[in-house]
Amino acid sequence: MGLAVALLMGLAVGLAPAVASDASPAPGVGKTILRLGWTHDPENLNPFIGYGSEYEIWALNYELLVGFRARDMANVPGVGLATAWETSADGKVWTFTVTDRSRWHDGRPVTARDVAFTFTYMIENKMGMFIDYLRYIEKVEAPDDTTVVFTCSRPKANMLALWIPILPEHIWSHIKPEEAEKTFANPPPIVGSGPFQVVEFKKGEYVRLAANKEYWKGAPKVDEVILQTYQNQDTMAQDLKAGVIQTAWNIPPAQFDALNREPDLESIRAVTVGLDELGFNCADRKKYPRSTGHPVLQDPAFRRALQWAVDKEKIAALAYGGNATPADALVTGDYYSSDADFHWTPPGDSAYTFDLDEARAALDAAGYPDADGDGIREYRGRPIKLRLYARTESAASQTCGKLITGWFKEVGLDIDYRVMAEGALGDRQYNYEHDEFAPDFDMFIWGWGGDVDPNFILSVLTTGSIESWSDCNWSNAEYDELFLEQQTTIDLRERIALVHRMQEIVYRESPYIPLVYPLDIMTADTGRWTGWVRANEGRGAWWYNTLPDSYVAVHPVEDRGETPGGGRTGLVIGLVAAACVVAAVVALALRQGRRRSEVE
């Protein structure tokens, strides 16, 4: 093959993804671009407003004070901005040394004063998105450019695990707090200090990030990252096969094995923090008289009885296609190391299993008989009818809803099962009437992600989280006390015991019925790209885990001297200036269609 043809073919490989997808940004000539597909479109790139896939973007654009080492998720010096730290004997004063090598994307130095500003801005203005992280922190001061001191009212057990992006004072000091929490969009280019910078965002289409070549830990090996949003999982899978993208998160479960058999592709099931649950509206009608939750749901005995009527093994198999493990407690199982396992496992003699007869007996014992024999149990002489909501955006939740509806009907409950958009369900969960909290639901199927430290997932069930993070409005005084105590218990063994006790209370009271711990299913081109970093001792994800490691390390493999991917053209980086040559390449790309490509 002649040199001109080789150049044409090389550039055609790079252009193929662009001509194949209208939603993709135009490629940059000679740039190495990593394209990732996902189905969770970011809503807002402002750290005080966004709440979903945005965290992955912030993990690339910003840095934490103390980061998480991908290998084992440990908080160690040098992973974040902090290169060292020490704490006072009473655990109330934390002193961090901040690197003097990090720079903001606009070239200014990152200093300890930026760290102090970030935390002070949030504390003084009670910024809701991060308020739980800030508990017990009284003040944050920077005596010099590389030292930041946190003074706490009580010892703070999770100080090293605060997922708070450090913001540039010279930018955010000009943004009013009320705007930061409500209207500020944080438009690109977004100035941070992370390994990448967001330079373009088209909602519903993609987020484009440019590599920070001055990154203090070493420049990423790619020039750009493009997070491509897909509305259809199958389309994403086809683009992965064609090489339009190099990796995909939330691939169709039915295509897991087929993608894994593709040349150069590898599929994994990753253990991540989070659970999906059946939640009940436990709002106390005396305190929240406008709640429409059925009165039986305030009774722990009623909720406990339903634990026996849920077959979690079948849910994992049918609703999740085997890409989940049955859940038994609030904190994720099989995630933590054995010497620091926050997950509590119910003792065998008290563990709920699937037993409809046991569920019927428990409902009888709790005082909810079927007195008239019509198949529907009564509460105060009236049939018990409960609303159950699943989400349009989740096929798994819909299958769960159908299964649970069937089981609950078998034990004598009348179930009104409906599917609605997540926004509509959220509106019902946080409904207000005449400025009074009026949650308008009975039961729902949803889930939580979370942090490595269990503090967040524990916090959502505290009384103080009602009308904010809490979606079930449950309240328990002992749980609340233990929550505060575990936050101030520095000794790991003692803290784990407290966290286990909290999960035991949740298990007994059953404001949630934990259904499964979902596994993240993803596929990556590990044949043509190398450097993928799998988190948490090889059990976690390559990406979509709020860790920048894969993005920084991944890069195309060297030319293997063969035809990669079964007859596809080898990797060539061509720089062609003449307009006639570019036109010829475009025509060639259009004729040949999509191809697997690494460098554009």
Q: What is the DSSP string of 333-374?
A: SS-S-GGG-------GGG-----HHHHHHHHHHTT---TTSS
CA distances from 138 to 69, 89, 90, 133 (A): 28, 18, 15, 12
Nearest Cα neighbor of 56 from 165, 131, 162 is: 165
Counting Cα atoms < 13 Å in the Cβ hemisphere of 514 gives 30
What's the average model confidence in pLDDT over 92-112? 98
Predicted confidence band of residue 586 (pLDDT cuts 50, 70, 90):
very low
How does DSSP classify residue 215? -
Q: What pLDDT, on a 0 to 100 scale, did the predictor assign at position 14?
A: 36
Q: Residue 578's pLDDT band (boundaries 50, 70, 90)? A: very low
pLDDT for 142: 98
How many CB atoms neighbour CB 445 within 10 A? 26
Instruction: Give the domains, in start order, of the chain with CATH numbers.
Output: 31-61+185-264+526-555 (3.40.190.10), 82-166 (3.90.76.10), 275-518 (3.10.105.10)
Nearest of 529, 557, 574 to residue 29 by alpha carbon: 574
Measured CA to CA, the distance from residue 70 to residue 548 in angstroms comes to 9
Find out whether 148 and 112 touch, Cβ atoms under 8 Å. Answer: yes
Cα distance between residue 429 and residue 281, in whole Å: 8
Q: Is the pLDDT of residue 51 over 90?
A: no
What is the DSSP code (8-state) at residue 174?
T
pLDDT digits (tens, 9 = 90+) for 211-227: 999 999 999 999 999 99
**CB-based contact 26:19 (threshold 8 Å):** no
- CB under 8 A, 24+ apart: contacts of 465-468: 466/283, 466/437, 467/430, 467/437, 468/128
Predicted confidence at residue 27, as pLDDT, reads 61
Strand order in the sheet with 147-152: 82-87, 93-98, 147-152, 137-144
In a 10 Å sphere around its CB, with 0-12 CB exposed, 13-18 middle and 19+ buried, how is residue 263 labelled?
middle
Collapsing DSSP to helix, strand or coil, 19 comes out as: helix
B/e letters for 37-50, b = 16+ CB within 10 Å, e = fewer, are bbbbbbebbbbbbb
pLDDT grade, residue 13 (50/70/90)?
A: very low
Q: What is the pLDDT of residue 23?
A: 61
Binning the chain into helix, strand and coil, the percentages to the nearest 5 are: 35, 20, 45
> Residue written as tokens 């505060």?
484
What is residue 6's predicted lDDT score, i.e. its pLDDT? 37
Residues 556-575 as b or e (16 or more Cβ within 10 Å = b): bbeeeeeebbeebbebbbbe
Other beta carbons less than 10 A from residue 294's beta carbon: 21
pLDDT at 569: 29
Distance between CA 104 and CA 194 in Å, rounded? 8
Is 90 exceeded by the pLDDT of residue 589?
Answer: no
For residue 91, what pLDDT band results from cuts at 50, 70 and 90?
A: very high
What pLDDT is stored for residue 131 in this prediction? 84
Mean pLDDT, the chain, integer: 89
pLDDT tens digit string along 442-501? 999 999 988 899 999 999 999 999 998 899 999 999 999 999 999 999 999 999 999 999
148-201 pLDDT, tens digit each: 999 999 999 999 999 999 999 999 999 999 999 999 999 999 999 999 999 999
Tell me how far CA of residue 207 lies from CA of 17, 221, 240, 249, 449, in angstroms: 16, 19, 18, 15, 22
- pLDDT(583) > 80: no
Query: Over 70: is that where the pLDDT of 9 sits?
Result: no
Reported as a single tens digit per residue, the pLDDT across 189-247 is: 999 999 999 999 999 999 999 999 999 999 999 999 999 999 999 999 999 999 999 99
Share of the chain above pLDDT 70, in %: 88
DSSP for residue 166: -
CA of 412: how far to CAs of 371, 374, 383, in Å? 11, 9, 9
563 vs 459 pLDDT, higher one: 459
* pLDDT per position as a tens digit, 326-355: 999 999 999 998 889 999 999 998 999 999
DSSP assignment string, 551-593: HHH-EEPPP-SS-HHHHPPPP-------HHHHHHHHHHHHHH-
Q: Each residue of 377-407: pLDDT tens digit?
A: 999 999 999 999 999 988 899 999 999 999 9
Percent pLDDT > 90 in the chain is 81
Predicted local distance difference test score (pLDDT) of residue 337: 86
CA distance 589 to 591: 5
Q: 0.95 cut: is pTM over it?
A: no
What pLDDT score was predicted for residue 188?
98
Cα separations in angstroms, 387 against 29, 404, 433, 449, 453:
55, 12, 20, 25, 34
Tell me, what amino acid is at 349? D
d(CA 523, CA 19): 23
Residue 21 has pLDDT above 60, yes or no: no
Helix ranges (DSSP H) in 89-230: 112-124, 169-172, 177-182
Does the pLDDT value for residue 543 go beyond 50? yes
User: Which tens digit of pLDDT belongs to each residue from 55-89?
Assistant: 999 999 999 999 999 999 999 999 999 999 999 99
Cis peptide before 189 (omega within 30 of 0): yes
Rounded CA separation 305/366 (Å): 8
* Cα–Cα distance, 148 to 199 (Å, whole number): 30
According to DSSP, the β-strands at 555-556 and 275-280 are unpaired
Residue 30 — pLDDT band, cuts 50, 70, 90? Answer: confident
- The pLDDT of residue 513 is 98
Q: What secondary structure does DSSP assign to 503-525, as a single string?
A: HHHHHHH-SEEEEEEEEEEEEEE
